[in-house]
């Protein structure tokens, strides 16, 4: 039997900040961000549940698309917009349960093999990383660079795509020129001297995503 597809997301998810606190979620939704991820690493479900509930409530109030990284059971339990998972997570997460609950799914990829594996699961979007060197996360692979990113975007056609990894404001125009539908950033916002100005500039360049 064919694998059923996950629910669709807009083809262009726009600016996509990836943040680790409810405070950042609140600030960025207030600043006009409409696609966002809560990425809290390596905690027990019990220790993150309250934050996940609070983040989901904020996203609903702002009519925003909130993806929960890693904690797929809590995302289902509290009806988040979506879940973001990595390749290793795919081995342990119950993808059928995520799909049956109506949640969208984003999957990380870093090369052709991971892309094929991700596409077989028919996720809502494919994330492609890391485009440039990043200090935010230790990466086992080399950065894929703009040429490889552009080739992947071409292969994926109309599939919703997200670029991530080392994307600073000055690199955004070149990233967008590949045709990618969304730009995910951590440090370009959270380490900016003026996060409001950085977010406004990024929203101007990337947009908040399609409705
Ligand atoms: C939009 C987006 N793309 C990639 C990632 C990385 O996810 P993952 O491979 O699960 O690694 P961790 O973020 O869990 O360290 C992401 N979070 N978001
Ligand atoms: C969380 C994450 N995942 C990546 C991937 O390639 O899968 S790169 C990354 C960190 C992105 O942070 P920054 O915007 O500060 O470089
Ligand atoms: Mg993960």
Q: What are 169-200's pLDDT values in tens digits?
A: 999 999 999 999 999 999 999 999 999 999 99
Residue 211: per-residue pLDDT: 84
In a domain, 133, yes or no: yes
Centroid of ligand 2 to alpha carbon of 135 (angstroms): 8
Evaluate: CB of 134 within 6 angstroms of ligand 2: yes
Q: Which ligand sits closest to the CA of 13?
A: 1
Question: Chain centroid to CA 141: how far?
Answer: 19
For ligand 2, atom 16, name the residue with the nearest CA: 166
Mean pLDDT (whole number) for 5-28: 98
Asked whether residue 2 is assigned to any structural domain, the reply reads no
Share of the chain above pLDDT 90, in %: 99
For range 155-159, the mean pLDDT: 97
Domain boundaries, position 156: 14-206
| Residues lining ligand 1, Cβ inside 6 A | 16, 18, 37, 39, 69-70, 84-86, 89, 106, 108, 127, 129, 137, 162, 164, 184
Domain assignment of residue 112, yes or no = yes
Domain membership of residue 99 (yes or no) is yes
Residue 5 lies in a domain: no
Total of domains in the chain: 1
At 121, which CATH number? 3.20.20.70
Question: Could you tell which of 15, 37, 39 is best to mutate to test the pocket of ligand 1, judged by most ligand atoms within 8 Å of the CB?
Answer: 39
pLDDT confidence of residue 17: 99
Structure letter (DSSP) for residue 32: T
Cα of 151 to ligand 3 centre, how many Å?
24
- Whether 32 maps to a domain, the answer reads yes
Rounded mean pLDDT, 64-71: 98
Calculated CA dihedral for residues 11, 17, 18, 24, nearest 10 degrees: -140
Task: Name the average pLDDT for the chain.
Answer: 97
| Residue 1: band (very low, low, confident or very high) from pLDDT cuts 50, 70, 90 | low
211 lies in a domain? no
Query: Would residue 104 count as lying in a domain?
Result: yes
For 20-33, how does the pLDDT look when each residue is reduced to its tens digit (9 = 90+)? 999 999 999 999 99
- Dmax of the chain from CA atoms? 52
Query: Is 136 a residue whose pLDDT tops 70?
Result: yes
- Ligand 2 centroid from CA 184, angstroms: 8
Range 41-45, long-range pairs (CB < 8 A, 24+ positions): 41/70, 45/71, 45/73, 45/74
Q: How confident is the model at residue 13, as a pLDDT? A: 98
ipTM surpassing 0.85: yes
């Amino acid at each position: 039997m064919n694998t059923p597809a996950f629910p669709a997301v807009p083809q262009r998810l726009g600016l996509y900040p990836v943040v680790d606190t409810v405070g950042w979620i609140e600030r960025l939704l207030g600043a006009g961000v409409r696609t966002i991820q809560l990425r809290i690493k390596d905690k027990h479900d019990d220790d993150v549940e309250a934050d996940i509930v609070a983040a989901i409530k904020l996203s609903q109030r702002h009519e925003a698309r909130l993806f929960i990284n890693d904690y797929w059971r809590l995302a289902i339990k509290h009806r988040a917009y979506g879940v973001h998972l990595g390749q290793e997570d795919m081995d342990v997460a119950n993808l059928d349960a995520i799909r049956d609950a109506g949640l969208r799914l984003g999957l990380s990829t870093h090369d052709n093999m991971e892309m094929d594996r991700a596409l077989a699961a028919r996720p809502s979007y494919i994330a492609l990383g890391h485009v440039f060197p990043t200090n935010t996360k230790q990466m086992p692979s080399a950065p894929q660079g703009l040429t490889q990113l552009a080739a992947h975007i071409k292969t994926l056609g109309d599939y919703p795509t997200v670029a991530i990894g080392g994307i600073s404001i000055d690199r955004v125009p070149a990233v967008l020129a590949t045709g990618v539908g969304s730009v995910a950033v951590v440090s370009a916002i959270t380490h900016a001297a003026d996060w409001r100005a950085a977010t406004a500039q990024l929203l101007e360049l990337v947009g908040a995503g399609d409705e």
